[in-house]
Structure 1
Amino acid sequence: MLIVGAGSAGSVLAERLSADPACRVTVVEAGPAPTDARVAQQIDNGLRLPIGTASSVVRHYLTTLTDEPPRRVQITRGAVVGGSGAVNGGYFCRGLPADFDGWQVPGWAWRDVLPHFRAIETDLDFGGPLHGADGPIKVRRVSEFDGCTASFVAAARSLGHPWVEDLSGLEPGAPAAGVGAVPLNIDSGTRTGPGGAFLQPALDRDNVHLLADTRVLRLEITAGRATAVECDGPAGRHTVTADRIVLCAGAIGSAQLLMVSGIGPAKMLQDLGIDVRANLPVGVATSDHPEWVIPVGWTPTHDVPPLEAVLLTESGLEIRPYTSSFAAMVHGPEHDPADRPHIGVALMRSRSRGRVTLASADPLAPPVIEHRYDSEPADVADLTAGAELAFEIAGGIAESDEPSWSTSQHLAGTAPMGADDDPRAVLDEQCRVRGIEGLWVVDGSVMPTLTSRGPHATIAMIGHRAAEFIAG
């Protein structure tokens, strides 16, 4: 068994599959191993985002957020054991039951995925049938708010928005709108994601092997079956063979690997001189959470998680009081003398769809990413309404009357699952690539639509759920 990518899904999947001593698991990761001296000092502190230009645990991509006018920004993905789950803000909230039921994919309804959400977590605040008590990832919420978060929660509740006691404990059909504390995979200031909680302990097993600092360039496909990957790492270029190959390289990385290997939209591949192995709609209708950002004059709060509470509205907007400026989150408060918190207005059920395409057949050339956030006027109208609510919550101390376009960096759906008659589906309901034997995709790529919460907990769950399919 070969797993490409040790991100949130790949780490969970590797641990689950290697629990069977008869299954030999090789994990290929482009970023550094946990033993690298640079890693712990960057990723352990859950109160800091190690995503700046000097970071050795992330990879940066350019994207175009909007079409009119084109807004070019940089987005970040984790390149380390644990992936983006090792460098994010600790938001570990489940998708809503209606998200999974809405996928209408057999085996992925809420009743199917709930046991896997429970299995990955130990919830330190809530018990009962909706929460896990002995999973590897500890989840807890801030119980007493300070500074800007306290101001935000008080203002939201004064406007009539109800308090939601447990954002991850909603039954099907229960109202989701309201303000509540964010479930965090940060315990005593330390971020514990799937890389540290699942894969690192599994590396002590004799049947698990990690190839770190090794980038997979393309898949080798013979007679309709994936048989090997071409790698470039400390030992130079070499080939690794396997009877089963699972791509867990993230929505960008997995899509690019599929396409450079001949799995994707036929015309694009042919135009680039790539032999077509399977004509599939890889990267043609991606989704993300568009976000508008408004700086506010609340007192910044340091040495706390970047996001401690959120407000979800009936229209699917998540209003986020970030505890300090982005610069302070990345570099520390002393980096930004004008440090100010800000409110994010994120549309969690956006209609717009973006694209991930190849610029070149060269696997080392970055792909072309287009979010196309302004392609749906209804999305812009919803964001405008959300900004008006954010200004109302801010109570007149917003430092700009014009929100700036941003992104939640939750790109998903580049290789979605679906039924046999679904023309959008790249994968079947068990994450197998259609038309290619011995090949699966297991990460945020597989989501038919993005969840109404941030996707990290859902992606970890996907790794846990898919292990059952791949193990047979």
Structure 2
Amino acid sequence: MVSANAEEFDYVIVGSGAAGSVLANRLSADPGVTLCVLEAGPPDRNPFIHIPAGFIKTLADPSVTWQFKTEGIPMTGGRRIATTQGRTLGGGSSVNGLIYNRGQPADLDSWAQRGNRGWGYADCLPYYRRSENRVGLGGETRGRNPDGIPITDMDWISPVSEAFIKGCLGLGIPRAPDYNSGDQMGVGYYQRTIRNGRRISAARAFLHPAMKRPNVAVRTNARASRILFEGKRAIGVQYVSAPGAPVREVRARREVILSAGTVNTARLLQISGVGPADLLGRLGVPVVHELRGVGSNFRDHYASRFVMRAKPGVETLNELSRGLKLGAQIARWALRRPSILATTPSHVHVFWKSFEGLDQPDLQCVFTPGSYAEGKVYILDDYPGVTAGAWQHRPESTGWVRARSTNVFEDPEINPNYLSDPMDVRVHLGGMRLLRRMLATPELSAFLEGETLPGPKVQSDDELLDFAKRNGSTTYHLIGTARMGPETDPSAVVNDRLQVHGMQGLRVIDASIMPSMPSANTYATTMMIAEKAADFVRGAVA
């Protein structure tokens, strides 16, 4: 039973990230409904959130992030890899790399082919368009919705990046005029969620406008600790502000919606009694409904990055981020002029193939005219350098997320099983060899001196794979722990209306429902999912 003095709303949304912010905006547009958003972190007042380059600070700041780490596994050399997630209004959209990337139409068509009605590319395209306000060139597949998130083009351009692009063109990789148009293949500059030099998070674009409405309540520092049920129906959520703090409750007359992200959504379901019975038994949690798939099918992009030393006199981010040069960049940013403070961590994209014969790219490669010190988290080298990285679009390796206890202040077990599938190893090796080809073009050789990481002595497949194990890292693209699929699929957690199988009044609307990894960063598709799901909740689609 819920407390008699609990607050009551039509909808309770757990999480204010990309999905939760979109949902809060779209659902509250109906003045006849009320909703409450529970956010485990603080308001998004940290100034580094709003400066695009501030991600270097926020990623390491536990006051606005979940400092999750993976388990040490053989394919990471036993390393525990930080897979930080946002914990503030806007969630990951307040701390991410600001890149907007939809992926390939085939990503979504494959979801529909797995029995998820209405999730093909043609079905989802209107929701991508609804969620974005494209500022710049773009055809009919792009959105110009004033109520969407602004998508702008890179405006600070380095001569080294231009040389990298020209080198790729020389290798036969075409220029991609708009990789978000549905035709991804090629090289070019990333589109990003920056306007007038400031980060526009999902909270800024969607949640803050919704918070001005009288039918929206937002509770920050409210860590969801349990979903409340009457039988098989979700009726509310318990939350706490700190260890030992009083437990509060909020009721949902219509639905509880989990938008807490791939890690926290799975963990919350498990500690509330929805998940694999054997895990719930170990946790001492009574089984409300057994769903074996909760927490499984976890996927992430695993990246390897190469570093090249630039020739003396070549100006990279390393030099521009120090001393008087940094002061000049800050001044430019304050005047809303192009500046390194308003760029994405990766500047150039390359969507290409790990081996010949493929119809579509199976790799995403990135280039940055700057380099980070080996073993350091976003600490720039003290010499001029550049970085290029690669990861597989659609990894086959799957892992899991499992609660260790019912204590929501104890991080869950996250096992990504990176590179456990032989195909993933093959594609990863192909990506690293492609990086070397792109970094060795005549166009780029005028700027670069030599490879520092992994170094020219690393050549064989075994040596490259060993480097990937010792130095590879997450791209923070976590999906799949509450995967969408028909009820006949024993690994599925939600149906194609994102309702939890076997339950009433309970939906999952975030990246955890993705059945497979899109060939992209996950942010754009998560917003699309929320736009589409808002129509399900409102009954606007059958």
TM-score bucket (shorter structure): over 0.9
Are residues 1:204 and 2:212 paired? yes
1:115 corresponds in structure 2 to 126
Question: Of residues 259, 265, 268 in structure 2, which corresponds to 1:248?
Answer: 259
- Secondary structure at 2:498 match in 1: coil
Q: In the alignment, which residue of structure 1 is the partner of 2:364?
A: 318
Deviation at 1:327, TM superposition (A): 7.0
Find the counterpart in structure 1 of residue 387 from structure 2: 342
SS at match of 1:140: strand
Offset, 1:336: 4.9
Q: Is 1:162 the equivalent of 2:166?
A: no
Q: How does 1:258-277 map to 2 (within 5 A)?
A: 258-277=269-288
CA–CA distance in structure 1, aligned partners of residues 479 and 369 of structure 2: 26
* 3-state DSSP of counterpart to 1:217: strand
Moved more, 425-434 or 122-131: 122-131
Counterpart in 1 of 2:52?
A: 46
1:187 lines up with 2:195 in the alignment: yes
Q: In structure 1, what is the Cα distance between the partners aligned to 2:191 and 2:425?
A: 28
Instruction: Name structure 2 gaps, 5 residues minimum.
Output: 1-10, 321-339, 355-361, 441-448, 456-466
SS of alignment partner, residue 62 of structure 1: coil
Q: 1:418 aligns with which of 462, 480, 485?
A: 485
Superposition deviation, residue 179 in structure 1: 0.9
Q: Pairwise mapping of residues 275-286 of structure 1 onto structure 2 (< 5 A)? A: 275-280=286-291, 281-286=293-298
Partner of residue 41 from structure 2, selected from 31, 48, 55:
31
Q: Counterparts in 2 of 1:229-244, with a 5 A limit?
A: 229-233=237-241, 236-243=246-253, 244=255
> Counterparts of 1:440 and 1:143 in 2: how far apart (Å)?
40
Deviation at 1:239, TM superposition (A): 1.0
Which is worse superposed, 303-312 or 109-118?
A: 303-312
Task: Measure, in 1, the Cα distance between the counterparts of 2:297 and 2:344.
Answer: 32
Shift of 1:332: 8.3
- Aligned with 1:138 (options 127, 142, 150): 150
Distance across 2 between alignment mates of 1:161 and 1:168: 17
Shift of 1:260: 0.4
* Matches of 1:418 and 1:255, distance apart in 2: 16
2:365 partner letter: I
Indicate if the aligned counterparts of 1:148 and 1:321 stay in contact, CA closer than 8 A. no
Letter in 1 for 2:382: P
Report how far residue 349 of structure 1 moved: 1.1
Does the 8 Å contact 1:147/1:300 carry over to 2?
A: no
CA offsets 1:289-342 (integer angstroms, 9 cap, x no match): 1111212224523513212221111341111113434579x9987x75346432
Contact preservation (8 Å) 2:481, 2:512: yes
Inter-partner Cα distance in structure 2 for 1:325 and 1:254 = 35
- C-alpha distance in 2 between matches for 1:276 and 1:326: 47
State the partner residue of 1:98: 106
SS in 2 for 1:150: helix
Deviation at 1:204, TM superposition (A): 0.5
* Partner residue in 2 for 1:129: 140
How far apart in 1 are the matches of 2:278 and 2:537?
A: 31
Secondary structure of residue in 1 paired with 2:191: coil
Q: Structure 2 length normalisation: TM-score?
A: 0.81
Distance in 2 between residues matched to 1:90 and 1:4, nearest whole Å: 23
Cα-to-partner distance string for 1:86-112 (whole Å, 9 max, x where unaligned): 111110111211100111211211111
Q: Which residue does the alignment assign to 1:450?
A: 517
**Which stretch of structure 1 is more off in the superposition, 222-231 or 4-13?**
222-231
Alpha-carbon distance, 1:140 to partner:
1.4
Quick one: which of 338, 343, 346 aligns to 1:307?
Answer: 346
Taking the aligned partners of 1:51 and 1:220, their CA distance within structure 2 comes to: 33
TM-score by length of 1: 0.93
Contact 1:182/1:310, CA 8 A, preserved across alignment? yes
Larger Cα-atom Rg: 2
- 1:436 corresponds to which residue? 503
Contact kept? 1:307, 1:322, Cα under 8 Å: yes
Give the 3-state SS of the residue equivalent to 2:472 in structure 1.
strand
Unaligned regions of 5+ residues in structure 1, if any? none
Total equivalences in the alignment? 462
Superposition deviation, residue 364 in structure 1: 2.2
Question: How far 1:233 sits from its partner (Å)?
Answer: 2.3
Are residues 1:382 and 2:393 paired?
no
